[in-house]
Amino acid sequence: MSSVWSIRRSTADKKVAGVCGGVARHWNVDPILVRVGWALLALSGGVGVVLYVAAWLLVPADGAATSTMDDLTKGQTSTWPREAWVAIVAVACLVTFVVFSSATSVSFWPAVVLALIWYFGYYKSRVKRPAPPSHERTAQPSQQGSLDAPPTGEPFRYPGPPTPFTEAAEAWRQRVEDMRRGATVTGFSETTGQSPAEPTWSPAAAPAPTAAGGSAWQSYPYGSDRAAVQDPVSPEFAEAAARADFLAAADPVGLYTEAAPVKAAAAPSRRTQATSLSARRLRLVGLVAVGLVLLGLAIADILGAPITPVIYAAAVLLVVGLTLIAATWLGRARGILPIGLLLLLVVLGMSVAKPAGQYLHEFNYTSTSQFPVQPVTVDRGLVSVDLRGVDLTSDATFAADLGTGAIEIEVPPGTNVVLDYSVGSGVVMDNNVTLASGENLQGSSPLLQRSRDNEPTLTLDIDVDQGMVAVKR
Amino acid sequence: MRRRDTVALIFGLLLTGCALGSLWFSATGVLDWDVLKLAIPIGLVVVGIAGLAVSRTGD
């Protein structure tokens, strides 16, 4: 992967300044994807706009040697280090995000989604590309050094399951070992100067070395022949050199000519690659869907819809769940299931651990005309009713229906009050004094405060399934 | 025929169900236990049967 500093603004594919076109060409992706990503970044508190302007100023165009900034400053900033520009752009992004994030109400979610798309859709697929073929790896300096080294110590053995190649390699290694052992035991000692008779091998007919390490093998005398190195013209050394030439041949016995098993082994990898490709595409589609859903929710939030954070998380979880269902047939890419489970924990946590304020329902009335015609109905939570400002001119009734929780009513001072209650299970209290407790509590309490006769009366008609009714004076 | 991913199907259905339930709860503020005590076991049975069916047809 080439350096990010080699990006150039495209002059052929440009909408504004060619930044997205240049980035798409550098990453070898569709320019539309880059432009969509830029739009998402722009919604993240305007960070995308800052990055675009920075790229416009700092990245040279195709064929240009200098950037727009260099042209504007007449080269005075051309010597600034890259780290300084990175810091300036980062600070500009941070300031812009802090200033404009509250205005857009989109927060940093688009940037997060974009980062996920970039990581899973591009970066991770790039770094997991297959390694170069083995013959390329053997050409590396470290590997070459091991080939040149004489075979000493315990020979390397392939730890995986045997394959035709490993069996051939093992046979070849064994042959080399036998040759070494033969040269050591029966070889060309200085005392006898005799060579072993081998009908299948003739030093004169030995093929020329063609392998990469041929020169190293050619110059390596085995076993007790090491002493012959000191006399390169001796017949013992010539014998050892011819033997080394034979061993240095690329494929002297045809061990590597059978290609059919290699083709059979390569077939499953292609199928696996095809499956993972569809899975990766599905993962990308899911990420794009997450971005679009979050964007839609953010727009709805801006327009006034009550979109809570748990709705954002649940929507993402819904997309991940649907993506997993689709992965049943298209293949499951790595990471989707853990993300789904993590999101599930987040959604459950956010749903259970709601802020306390969401369970608090407060009502404040200053006149009887504000009393709702239908009873105030609350499913659960703490209901606080403030009637202290009500100036009662005639008899009135305030009714409330609570499922589970507590209702606390503050009545106006000096007013006649009657409490009609119906409690399925709980307690009824008046100024911290228990009037009734238990189950199926129904009744009408005595007037809680009688200021004067012939004064209007406020009737409290309270129905609670489970919980507490408390009147405060 | 390519082997189908039963794990993905089961977890996908479960996560989708949880997400829909959470969205419903967030929107209405009500989760009726009378409905849940029937919907949850029925949903689990449906998910299990779907997983069994997919695993059989995918072999």
Interface of A with B in 242-281 (CB under 8 A): 275
Instruction: Tell me if residue A228 falls in helix, strand or coil.
Output: helix
Residue position matching structure tokens 């504004």 = A16
- In angstroms, how far is the first alpha carbon of chain A from the final one? 76
**Chain B contact for A379, CB < 8 A?**
yes
pLDDT of residue A3: 66
Cβ neighbours around A212 below 10 Å, total: 15
Complex ipTM: 0.89
Residue A100, phi then psi, degrees to nearest 5: -105, -10
Residues of A in contact with B32 (CB under 8 A): none
Given a contact cutoff of 8 angstroms between Cβ atoms, the answer to whether A164 and A262 are in contact is yes
CB–CB contact A379 B29 (8 Å): yes
Residues A240 and A221: their CA atoms lie apart, in Å, by 6
The pLDDT of B28-46, averaged and rounded, is 82
Q: Which two tokens stand for residue A150?
A: 């004489």
Given a contact cutoff of 8 angstroms between Cβ atoms, the answer to whether A9 and A19 are in contact is yes
Given a contact cutoff of 8 angstroms between Cβ atoms, the answer to whether A97 and A47 are in contact is yes
CB–CB contact B11 A324 (8 Å): yes
CB–CB contact A318 B20 (8 Å): yes
Buried b (16+ CB within 10 A) or exposed e, A116-141: bbbebbeeeeeeeeeeeeeeeeeeee
CB–CB contact A325 B14 (8 Å): no
**Chain A contact for B53, CB < 8 A?**
no
What digits encode the pLDDT tens for the residues A37-70?
888 778 777 788 888 888 888 888 888 888 888 8
Q: CA of A337, closest CA in chain B: separation in Å? A: 8
pLDDT of residue A14: 81
Task: Compare all CA atoms of chain B with the CA of A322 and give the residue at the minimum distance.
Answer: B12
Burial class (CB in 10 A: 0-12, 13-18, 19+), A191: exposed
H runs (alpha helix) in A131-234: 134-137, 141-148, 164-185, 214-218
Reported as a pLDDT band with limits 50, 70 and 90, residue B58 is low
Given a contact cutoff of 8 angstroms between Cβ atoms, the answer to whether A228 and A188 are in contact is yes
Residue A345's H or E segment, with its range, is helix A336-352
pLDDT of residue A446: 66
| Among B11, B18, B40, residue whose Cα is nearest residue A346 | B18
Count Cβ–Cβ pairs < 8 Å, chain A vs chain B.
89
**Chain B contact for A341, CB < 8 A?**
yes
pLDDT of residue A412: 86
Angle at A298 between CA A292 and CA A299, to 5 degrees: 90
Residues A107 and A111: their CA atoms lie apart, in Å, by 9
What digits encode the pLDDT tens for the residues A294-352?
889 988 888 888 888 888 889 999 999 999 999 988 888 878 888 888 888 888 877 76
CB–CB contact B18 A321 (8 Å): yes
CB–CB contact B15 A327 (8 Å): no
Beta strands at A416-430 and A360-364: parallel, antiparallel or unpaired: unpaired
CB–CB contact B12 A322 (8 Å): yes
What digits encode the pLDDT tens for the residues A379-421?
878 899 998 888 888 888 899 998 888 999 998 887 888 889 9
Q: Which residue of B22, B31, B46 is the best one to mutate when testing the A interface, meaning the one whose CB has the most A CBs within 10 A?
A: B22
Q: Which residue of A275, A307, A323, A324 is the best one to mutate when testing the B interface, meaning the one whose CB has the most B CBs within 10 A?
A: A324
Residues of B in contact with A332 (CB under 8 A): 5, 7-8
Residues of A in contact with B29 (CB under 8 A): 379
Query: What does pLDDT average to in each consecutive run of 10 residues of chain A (473 residues)?
Result: 74 85 84 82 79 88 83 78 81 76 62 73 62 45 42 62 81 82 51 44 46 44 48 66 74 62 48 66 88 89 84 91 90 84 85 64 86 86 88 87 89 85 88 84 72 76 90 83
Residues A146 and A157: their CA atoms lie apart, in Å, by 15
